[in-house]
Amino acid sequence: MKKKYFRQVPDFDYVSRLPQSKISDYIKVKNLFKKGKLREDIFQDVTVFTKYQIKGDDRPDNVAYDVYDNADLDWVILLSNNIINIQTEWPLPQNDFDRVLLEKYKTYENLYSNIHHYETTEVTNSQGVVIVPAGLHVSSTYTTTYFDYYQDSLVEVKDCIKPVTNYEWEEEKENKKRNIFILKNRYLGIVLDDMQDIMPYKNGSTQYVSETIKRGENIRLY
């Protein structure tokens, strides 16, 4: 059974435009417009997935090896999370992450010391009921006042915010990418079988050569 993604993607013969090519020469390339995807009935059913947190600098192939014991199934990891651009939708290696941020913010002081915004810390009443949840973006002068019915008093809270630096903000966004979904092993065979059914070309057009090749029209022959 084929498992590597690009081995399953069929080819397309384009008419060669290279200077030394003959009039009937073609160049074989992978048809990247032929894309695999999870069936909607699988993708929409949360019970077929389990939560997973990406560790350290792990790549999709590392995760595939961890959960499926097969690094070639990295494409299943990506399809399960609808990830198209791994550069922006997957956590960067730590060294690359730090380098990108330094390029963006220019100086260490701006990156590590300057404040990006302020967030609330959790505020609860005397019975532990949450009045203000943590993590709300607020101004640097934010305060809150509430009436505590259990103490029959008006309570003003001034110290209920914290500064978030540029680095902390970027790190929080990056860490959210670590929370992904994994297709459970018992459904893996369905996806592999679907890919073998989706990828081959079907006979029915003038471009059809075989299940793995289509050929573009060569107008130079006419």
Half-sphere exposure of 64 (CA within 13 A, CB side): 19
**153-196 confidence digits (pLDDT tens):** 999 999 999 999 999 999 999 999 999 999 999 999 999 999 98
Position 108: which residue type?
A: Y
Residue 221 — very low, low, confident or very high, per pLDDT cuts 50/70/90? Answer: very low
- Cα(139)–Cα(143) distance, integer angstroms: 9
**99-133 confidence digits (pLDDT tens):** 999 999 999 999 999 999 999 999 999 999 999 99
Domain boundaries, the chain: 1-34+199-222, 98-172
Full-model pTM = 0.83
